[in-house]
Amino acid sequence: MIDCLAGVRVLDFTQYLAGPTCTQTLADLGADVVKVEPPAGDAARAWGPPFRGGDAALFRAVNHGKRSVVLDVSEDAGLQAALALAARADVLVESFRPGVMDRLGLGAEALTTRHPALVYASISAYGGRGPLGAEPGFDALLQAHAGIVSVTGPPGHPVRAGVSVVDTGTALWAVIGILGGLRERERTGRGGHLRASLFEAALAYNAYHIAGFLADGAVARPRGNAFPLIAPYGEFPTLDGRIVIAPANDRLFQRLCRVLDLEDEARDERFVTNPARLAARDELDRAVAAATRARTTAELLRELRRAGVPCAPVLDIREVCDDAQTRESGVLVGDRVLPPFTWDGRRPGVAGAVPGLGEHDAGVAEDTRNWRNDGDS
């Protein structure tokens, strides 16, 4: 177990995916996370099927180890309970549209003025700035708006990435900011207001495409599984499946040619350097595909790895769960994918069970009374 945030109290006013992923990560690091839910619960509890234990699998994936309390903060009793929790929280994370928490009496300015040590984190679609600052948004919308969709998928058919990269990326940027805020509080005694937005996180994913456009005006387009800056690099057919090959420099390209018996291509001046290979990518990809199609995936993986050429099989989710590397990594425990890092050989453990809606109402109320006596006034 990694409990570097043991003793840190997090008040979680988030729903859906981005915010809960942020607070889940804090819980995995040992924080005490109290999830404040409306009477109907986090809407993501119903984002299914699939369901397990009455809640959607997506909800379960990002809400382990938290305590759930139901508060109707539009009513005075609920608001006063929320304010009592906030008075002794170290971190508050919210994912409402900008302005909503202010109208409820729980906004950053009010709470950080009253409690200067509070690290207050707001996660929203557009960050509360610009012409769309207060607009709502979900992962697919921000993938589209920030250009990720335009560079994903087969040529001529841009698509959304198959996982919620913007939600999870925003969550991790928020975690980084929160950890920085806690360190700043140690140094100065003051917290502050962190803002993280899905739009800005999506732009960050596109950083090298944006840099490329600003360098020469070239607009990146979808290239399927190919990488636009290296050739050959991408997915190729095998006798019984698909494989991704990534020879990222000239030396590795020569090794690939030896494994695939591509002697002519290894000597061809059109393929000597990476810029040259990019100019002739289509012809080179056809030659590589013809060679890989004649061998099984297992044979190619064995020979390419022996030669030191980076490669990987294309697996579906069932195959990933059954894969030896997945099992040996220790990152998959039960139905949870744990945080993908270790510290001195230790991995954050399973933080705890997924809470039922309002399961911890009584316990959190008792904690609030205790919190009033164990810290600053």
3-state helix, strand, coil in the chain (%, to 5): 45, 15, 40
Residue 213 included in any domain: no
116 lies in the same domain as 199: yes
Q: Which CA distances in Å does 279 have to 217, 229, 267, 273?
A: 17, 11, 16, 10
Q: Which domain holds residue 284?
A: 242-313
CA 376, distance to chain mean position in Å, is 35
Counting Cα atoms < 13 Å in the Cβ hemisphere of 65 gives 27
290 lies in the same domain as 343: no
pLDDT score, position 359: 79
Q: Helix or strand or coil: residue 345?
A: coil
3-state SS record for 169-236: HHHHHHHHHHHHHHHHHHHHCCCEEEEEEHHHHHHHHCHHHHHHHHHHCCCCCCCCCCCCCCCCCEEE
Whether 167 is a known active-site residue: answer: yes
Residue 236 included in any domain: no
CB 203 within 8 A of CB 210: yes
The span from the CA of 226 to the CA of 224, in Å, is 6
Which entry of 28, 167, 285, 367 is annotated as an active-site residue?
A: 167
Number of domains in the chain: 2
The span from the CA of 293 to the CA of 239, in Å, is 5
What pairs with residue 236 in β-bridges?
243
49 lies in the same domain as 144: yes
Residue 169 included in any domain: yes
pLDDT score, position 3: 84
The span from the CA of 230 to the CA of 45, in Å, is 42
The span from the CA of 203 to the CA of 152, in Å, is 14
What CATH number should be reported for the domain holding residue 272?
A: 3.30.1540.10
Taking only the tens of pLDDT, the chain with its 377 residues reads: 678 899 999 999 999 999 999 999 999 999 999 999 999 999 999 988 898 888 999 999 999 989 999 999 999 999 999 999 999 999 999 999 999 999 999 999 999 999 999 999 999 999 988 898 889 899 999 999 999 999 998 888 889 999 999 999 999 999 999 999 999 999 999 999 999 999 999 999 999 899 988 999 989 888 888 888 899 999 999 999 999 999 999 999 999 999 999 999 999 999 999 999 999 999 999 999 999 999 999 999 999 999 999 999 999 999 999 999 999 898 888 878 888 888 888 887 666 788 888 878 877 766 655 554 444 43
Residue 4 included in any domain: no
